[in-house]
């Protein structure tokens, strides 16, 4: 996403696009997905921080944090640059929720490099995270690298990293209990039961909020008081109903 405009205009124009989108009526949430650290400028950060429509949720697939692995992946950033950017984003965008993805078992990944990745996840505490094992794809540069790892090693590392993240994700969800949040209703799986998402959740990959009530339609934004966490998902009630019972 941060590369937007390079192919069309020969320069990055994401900020200009976002400012135009902000002028459209009926567009309540603008969610930024698949943002590479490259081209993440101060102007872009200020645009996100100062917008009432660009929600404070950033999906930034980092893939790894060890410099040697990043180089083999042909990523254009290193650990120091990544740490600096994440710190800047946290400091300047209020209530920021960050999602990232990592790859375990990339060719040549050592135990020490994987340990560095685990430590980074513990320290950085991404609210949302996905992990994939390296998948062999013919005719890609990575196929020519040495050090391809067995599938069971790649899967074990993935599971270990997700176990670390589960505790972080549960703690974040628990911190939302008791708060009133706007929820975008996505579906009604059965009469009177609705499934939606807060600003902190992208469709199909993040947490869902389950809420019961009347006069709700798919596509509505409704105020919901978060009452409990159930595994990765949240249970809530309509804020108006909460007030009526007091």
Residue 7 has a pLDDT of: 66
Backbone torsions φ then ψ of 30, nearest 5 degrees: -115, 115
Residue 105 has a pLDDT of: 96
Residue 3 has a pLDDT of: 60
Residue 8 has a pLDDT of: 64
Residue 12 has a pLDDT of: 72
Go through 25-47 and write b for each residue having 16 or more CB atoms within 10 A of its CB, e for each that does not.
Answer: eeeeebbbeebebebbeeebbeb
Residue-wise pLDDT tens for the chain (246 aa)?
666 666 666 667 788 889 999 889 888 999 999 999 988 899 999 999 999 899 999 999 999 999 999 999 999 999 999 999 999 999 999 999 999 999 999 999 999 999 999 999 999 999 999 999 999 888 788 877 888 999 999 999 999 999 999 999 999 999 999 999 999 999 999 999 999 999 999 998 999 999 998 889 999 999 999 999 999 999 999 997 544 333
| Closest C-alpha among 105, 103, 101 to residue 154 | 105
CB-based contacts of 158-164 (< 8 A; 24+ apart in sequence): 158/104, 158/105, 158/131, 158/132, 158/133, 160/118, 161/102, 161/104, 161/117, 161/118, 161/121, 161/131, 162/129, 162/131, 164/118, 164/121, 164/122
Distance CA 54, CA 234 (A): 23
Q: In what order do the strands lie in the sheet with 97-104?
A: 30-32, 54-59, 97-104, 128-133
H or E, element range at 104:
strand 97-104
Q: How far is CA 225 from CA 36, 173, 205, 214, in A?
A: 34, 13, 22, 15
Contact yes or no for 68/88 (Cβ under 8 A): no
- Tokens representing 201? 């959740």
Q: Which residue has the tokens 């159930």?
A: 230
Domains of the chain in start order, with CATH, are 6-176 (3.80.30.20), 180-244 (2.40.50.140)
Distance CA 80, CA 62 (A): 13
Tell me which DSSP letter residue 63 carries. Answer: B
Residue 180 has a pLDDT of: 96
């Amino acid at each position: 996403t941060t590369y937007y405009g390079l192919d069309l205009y020969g320069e990055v124009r994401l900020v200009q696009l976002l400012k135009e989108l902000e002028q459209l009526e009926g567009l309540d949430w603008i969610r930024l997905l698949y943002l590479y650290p490259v081209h993440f400028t101060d102007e872009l950060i200020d645009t996100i921080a100062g917008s009432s429509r660009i929600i404070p949720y950033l999906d930034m697939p980092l893939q790894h944090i060890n410099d040697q692995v990043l180089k083999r992946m042909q990523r254009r950033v290193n650990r120091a640059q990544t740490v600096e950017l994440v710190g800047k984003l946290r400091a300047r965008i209020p209530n920021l929720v960050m999602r990232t993805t990592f790859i375990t078992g990339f060719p040549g990944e050592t135990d020490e490099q994987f340990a560095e990745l685990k430590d980074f996840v513990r320290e950085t505490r991404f609210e949302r995270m996905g992990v994939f094992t390296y998948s062999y794809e013919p005719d890609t540069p990575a196929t020519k690298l040495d050090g391809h790892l067995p599938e069971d090693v790649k899967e074990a590392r993935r599971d270990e990293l997700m176990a670390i993240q589960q505790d972080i994700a549960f703690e974040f969800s628990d911190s939302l209990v008791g708060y009133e949040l706007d929820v975008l209703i996505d579906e009604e799986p059965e009469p009177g039961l609705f499934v939606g998402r807060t600003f902190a959740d992208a469709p199909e990959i993040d947490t869902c909020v389950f809420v019961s009530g009347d006069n709700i339609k798919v596509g509505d934004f409704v105020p919901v008081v978060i009452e409990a966490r159930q595994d990765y998902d949240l249970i809530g009630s309509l804020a108006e109903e909460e007030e009526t019972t007091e």
